[in-house]
Structure 1
Amino acid sequence: MSSQHRNFIDGDWVESNSGETFENRNPADTKEVIGEYQQSTAEDAEAAIEAANEAADEWAAMPGPERGRILRKAGEILADRKEELTQTLSHEVGKTTSEAGGEVQRSIDIYAYYAAKASDFGGTVKESSSPTTHLYSQSEPVGVAGLITPWNFPIAIASWKMAPALAAGNTVVLKPASLAPGIIRELVEALEDAGIPDGVVNFVTGPGRSVGATVSSSPDVDAVSFTGSHSVGEKVRKQAVDDGKRVQLEMGGKNPTVVMPSADVDEAVDIVAGGCFGVTGEACTATSKAIVHEDVYEEFVEKMVDHVESIEVGPGLEDYDMGPHISESELDSTLDYVEIGQQEGATLETGGNRVTGDGYDDGYFVEPAVFSDVTNDMRIAQEEIFGPVLAIIPVSGFEDALRQANDVRYGLAAGLVTQDLTEAHEFANRAEAGIVKVNEKTTGLELHVPFGGFKDSSSETYREQGDAGLDFYSISRTVYMNY
């Protein structure tokens, strides 16, 4: 039995002006409706923006340590509810319970991190060239932050946007992806229970064309942070910059991992497979292609096929190795790319079929797929698939591998597996990606360092996470105090 859930505006849980709702279904069993959410309108978004503006001055004036106390309490509440949140996340997006639990823990850690950072937020003191001048800077919030978040890491990404925004003294209007509003609702409930003042956090569900477009284009929103597809991100960028807003966009990737002859092939297979097939490949940093030196290419392909054929696919709540896609459209997209790869002449070594029968018919399950004999100009080597599909490309040497790794429109993450120190440093310096991993899978991020991409993966304006996360949500004033 599903429940109907409301928007959170100005400290109250309210229904949309539309009087309409939309259903959220279990991707492992689409017969099950797990929640109903408000089909909000532009008017609802405007009400949330108005509430955020009315609360902005009081929240900004609250001392940083006090804001940090509220964030710390929210993190403690999330920790107390971790098991429940893990079940919600797995139920809603299809992740295995292990993957969902890791994401929830990341959200807990983010709130703890920015709770501490809130006490440090303020500015710096510098020595003046004048002996009678006290020279210092002050940091202050930009105002109202509009946050548009994706479905693939819903609570983690909402947290790494919202926590620094709140720590810096901004108020927030949050529009979650319609495929994953439930876990964000529970995050907002934790902030409410932690004592967040009315209007500081506002949560509005509904379509991007009404809610998202209003948030990104409203003159009463000062900064917009978006994570999602490149096509939607470009629309958000135009809407935001036309009004002179500060904007931050992270927009996907096509992430390579290079495997060199010095690598241990078994280790390389584990690294690439972990980066490709974890979270059903639905990660912007997922490894999508392996660029493998010809000396170890055949061995790598054979061992990768063996590894992939051992992956058990099933409902995330039962903690199989790999859960379902989140939606029918995502499943169809993966199946389409499997067909495209074969049409382009790549060899489908294993997988790529929809999983049916024995209780699977009502879920969005697919076998993880491996292609060999791929060339870098194929669509499966150039386009973001966002599913468990690996393209393996043979190369003749390091320079060839680096060239092909960089020959793509995206630049989010890139990996290298090698025991050659020179190759490691050359790759780190020359890979055209915002995140470079050596002897690690491309997925998985530390929360206290900057996150963001190059090229079409990012607006290349501001980074997320760590101190860089605070930079986006703050602006500085320099004071010369001549005494």
Structure 2
Amino acid sequence: MTVTTEAKTFMNYINGEWEASSTNQVIASINPANKNEIVGYVQNSSKEDLDLAVAAAKKAQIEWKKLTGAVRGQYLYNVANAMEKRLGEIAECATREMGKTLAEAKGETTRGIAILRYYAGEGMRKVGDVIPATDNEALMFTTRTPLGVVGVITPWNFPVAIPIWKMAPALIYGNTVVIKPATETAVTCAKIVECFEEAELPAGVLNMVTGSGSVIGQGIADHPDINGITFTGSNGVGKKIGQAALARGAKYQLEMGGKNPVIVAADADLDLAVEATISGAFRSTGQKCTATSRVIVQSDVYEAFKEKLLAKTNEITIGDGLTEGIWMGPCANDNQLKTVLSYIEKGVEEGATLLLGGEQLKESDYEHGFYVQPTIFENVTTDMAIAQEEIFGPVIALMKVDSIKEALEIANDVQYGLSASIFTTNIGHMLSFINDMDAGLVRINAESAGVELQAPFGGMKQSSSHSREQGEAAKEFFTSIKTVFVKS
């Protein structure tokens, strides 16, 4: 591996200071478009480092929760302003670490800034209600109290938006934070934390500790002084975190996998459906929990839809996300590439018909990156792995049905329930989809990937712990209701 001399080493951020880990070990962050390029180094931390961060957060929370919501909100406004000045730098770093195109990374960073401003405004909104008491000489009302110290564990696929949509509500409601970002994109997270530092957030209110999931992630789950844990990632890891938190009585929030369907009705606008399917399935190289994975098409329009889908997919340009004109970048790392290729192999072995793609790109400009072609299967049955399991890559399973009722049955026939879309002009189909689709996010005539920051986000079944993130719903996780009874 070639080490670039300009690669910077980023420290942990603990109690307002940048500190090397106690292990004196670092982890390299690799550019997935060119594995010979090291974006930067981050700390390979120990439980001792985590303990220092938690202690700092616990101490800082005493004064932080006493500040008014307006004052805490002003800090978030200041962070947003600092991020806005560095938007291009942060977006470029996200592309170099994760692989998504620069346009996507800029959009994600812009969204992160908007999330900060949204939650800054939450500091001026109500936190409770007055409730009539049976005693006419008493006042009864509710208020909200922060959890305390919140552990934040984030994935690599949205290295800007996900950390911010967890940290911003945690902070505005009076909690302090210890964040463990995915090591693959921890340099991007460090740059975000630098914006909090620039905004002069009080020492200890926000702390970042990087390192392995088995040490730092599990340490957060087990730590007796962490009162709440918010996690986005795989189902296997999420369940371990939830079990550990439950065992010691900590509050937890898990956002995990998806196997998201798009239903294309016979009356759909096929051009719109194709455009949204490609965007939902292949942007960010399919590495979104809300990405389109199954496309269930009524038989009357199946061949026409398939022809348009193949033609448009063939137009996708693949390469380094920093290069102008590139539409789809690489997989985020070698393990993810191998996972995607293994599912493509499974699809072929199980009898699905490979219509397009399915190969790793290795020649010329692709030889040093983790590139795979956008892939489309047909003749997929519900019992196949590519119809049931989350691939987290640019793979579509086409499935043909005769009716919307059959489409809904197939759409629901998975363990996940995160997002789903239907393309139709029929009001009856829309209503059936809204009522019968087992998903936390349902979208009509729009792609499966995407949710607005002011709206609740979360899944059903095995996709989440049944809590919701973003919007006003975040208040339900990051605070507890306190009922107050005042007798004169």
Superposed counterparts of 1:304-319, under 5 Å? 304-319=309-324
1:451 aligns with 2:462: no
Structure-2 residue corresponding to 1:370? 376
Question: 1:347-373 deviations in whole A, cap 9, x for unaligned?
Answer: 111111111222210011111001111
How far the C-alpha of 1:133 sits from its partner, in A, is 2.2
Out of 143, 146, 158, the residue aligned to residue 141 of structure 1 is 146
Question: 1:88-115 deviations in whole A, cap 9, x for unaligned?
Answer: 1111111101100110011000000000
Partners of 1:364 and 1:34 lie apart in 2 by: 16
Count the aligned residue pairs.
482
Partners of 1:183 and 1:4 lie apart in 2 by: 12
Out of 160, 180, 187, the residue aligned to residue 185 of structure 2 is 180
1:285 aligns with 2:274: no
How far the C-alpha of 1:376 sits from its partner, in A, is 1.4
- Secondary structure at the counterpart of residue 88 of structure 1: helix
Superposed counterparts of 1:3-22, under 5 Å? 3-22=8-27
1:214 aligns with 2:231: no
1:438 aligns with 2:444: yes
How far the C-alpha of 1:132 sits from its partner, in A, is 2.5
- Secondary structure at the counterpart of residue 425 of structure 2: coil
How far the C-alpha of 1:477 sits from its partner, in A, is 1.2
How far the C-alpha of 1:268 sits from its partner, in A, is 1.1
Superposed counterparts of 1:16-415, under 5 Å? 16-120=21-125, 122-319=127-324, 320-415=326-421
Deviates more, 1:9-18 or 1:350-359: 350-359
How far the C-alpha of 1:122 sits from its partner, in A, is 3.2
Question: 1:151-205 deviations in whole A, cap 9, x for unaligned?
Answer: 0011100001000000000000000001110111111110111111000000000
Structure 1: any 5+ residue segments left out of the alignment?
Answer: none
Partners of 2:476 and 2:423 lie apart in 1 by: 33
How far the C-alpha of 1:121 sits from its partner, in A, is 5.0
- Secondary structure at the counterpart of residue 73 of structure 1: helix
Partners of 1:132 and 1:453 lie apart in 2 by: 44
- Secondary structure at the counterpart of residue 295 of structure 2: strand
Percent identity over paired residues: 42
Partners of 1:156 and 1:127 lie apart in 2 by: 41
Are the equivalent residues in 2 in contact too, given 1:135–1:480 (CA < 8 A)? yes
Partners of 2:127 and 2:300 lie apart in 1 by: 55
Are the equivalent residues in 1 in contact too, given 2:346–2:385 (CA < 8 A)? yes
Deviates more, 1:403-412 or 1:82-91: 82-91
Question: 1:427-477 deviations in whole A, cap 9, x for unaligned?
Answer: 0111000000110001111011110001110111x2100111122111121
Partners of 2:471 and 2:135 lie apart in 1 by: 34
How far the C-alpha of 1:318 sits from its partner, in A, is 1.0
> Could you tell me which amino acid in structure 2 is paired with residue 36 of structure 1?
Y
Are the equivalent residues in 2 in contact too, given 1:411–1:456 (CA < 8 A)? yes
Partners of 2:452 and 2:91 lie apart in 1 by: 20
Out of 455, 465, 477, the residue aligned to residue 482 of structure 2 is 477
- Secondary structure at the counterpart of residue 249 of structure 1: strand
How far the C-alpha of 1:127 sits from its partner, in A, is 3.4
Structure 2: any 5+ residue segments left out of the alignment?
Answer: 1-5
Deviates more, 1:152-161 or 1:114-123: 114-123
How far the C-alpha of 1:125 sits from its partner, in A, is 2.1
Are the equivalent residues in 2 in contact too, given 1:94–1:324 (CA < 8 A)? yes
Are the equivalent residues in 2 in contact too, given 1:301–1:372 (CA < 8 A)? no
- Secondary structure at the counterpart of residue 189 of structure 2: helix
Question: What RMSD in Å do the two structures reach over aligned CA positions?
Answer: 0.9
Partners of 1:429 and 1:182 lie apart in 2 by: 43
Deviates more, 1:355-364 or 1:63-72: 355-364
Structure-1 residue corresponding to 2:3? none
Partners of 2:192 and 2:34 lie apart in 1 by: 24
- Secondary structure at the counterpart of residue 316 of structure 1: coil
How far the C-alpha of 1:78 sits from its partner, in A, is 0.7
Partners of 1:128 and 1:421 lie apart in 2 by: 46
Partners of 1:279 and 1:201 lie apart in 2 by: 29
Deviates more, 1:462-471 or 1:380-389: 462-471
Partners of 2:32 and 2:310 lie apart in 1 by: 26
Are the equivalent residues in 1 in contact too, given 2:41–2:187 (CA < 8 A)? no
